[in-house]
Amino acid sequence: MPGQTPETSAGPQSKPVTEPVPEPPPDPKSKSSSTPSPAPSSAGIHGGVVLRLVSAGLFVVMSLFVRLASVEAPIGQIVFYRSLFALPPIIAYLIWRRQFPSALKTRQPVGHLKRNLYGGAAMVLSFVSLAYLPLALATALGFLAPLLAVPAAVLFLRERPGAVAIGAALAGFAGVVLMLAPAFEGPTLDHDTIIGVAAGLAMAIATAAGRVQIKMLTATEAPGTIAFYFASICALGGLASLPFGWIAPTGPSLAYLIGAGISGGLAHITMTEAMARAPVSTQAPFDYTAMLWALILDGLIFGLLPSPVSLAGAAVIAASALVIPLAGRFSARSGALRPAR
- pLDDT tens for residues 52-73? 889 889 999 999 999 999 999 9
Mean pLDDT on 216-238: 86
pTM value is 0.71
Split at pLDDT 50, 70, 90, the class of 106 is confident
pLDDT over 80 at 299, yes or no: yes
Helix residue ranges per DSSP H, 6-70:
42-69
- Distance between CA atoms of residues 216 and 1, nearest Å: 35
Q: Which amino acid is at 56?
A: A
Q: Is 106 helix (H, G, I), strand (E, B) or coil?
A: coil
- Distance between CA atoms of residues 170 and 157, nearest Å: 19
* Closest listed residue to residue 78, CA positions, set 263, 204, 227, 211: 263
Specify whether the CB–CB gap between 270 and 55 falls below 8 A: yes
Which range in 32-36, 221-225, 317-321 is most confidently predicted, on average pLDDT? 221-225
Specify whether the CB–CB gap between 203 and 126 falls below 8 A: yes
Query: Which residues, 6+ apart, have CB-to-CB distance to 206 below 8 Å?
Result: 118, 119, 121, 122, 125
pLDDT over 90 at 280, yes or no: no
Give the single-character DSSP code of 300: I
Q: What share of the chain is helix, strand, coil (3-state, %, to 5)?
A: 70, 0, 30
Task: State the pLDDT at residue 83.
Answer: 94
pLDDT over 60 at 38, yes or no: no
Using CA atoms, how far residue 254 sits from 8, 237, 259, in Å, is 73, 19, 8
> End-to-end alpha-carbon separation of the chain, Å?
44
Task: State the pLDDT at residue 121.
Answer: 93
Look at 128-132, 166-170, 313-317 and tell me which has the smallest mean pLDDT.
166-170
Residues in the chain: 341
pLDDT over 90 at 263, yes or no: yes
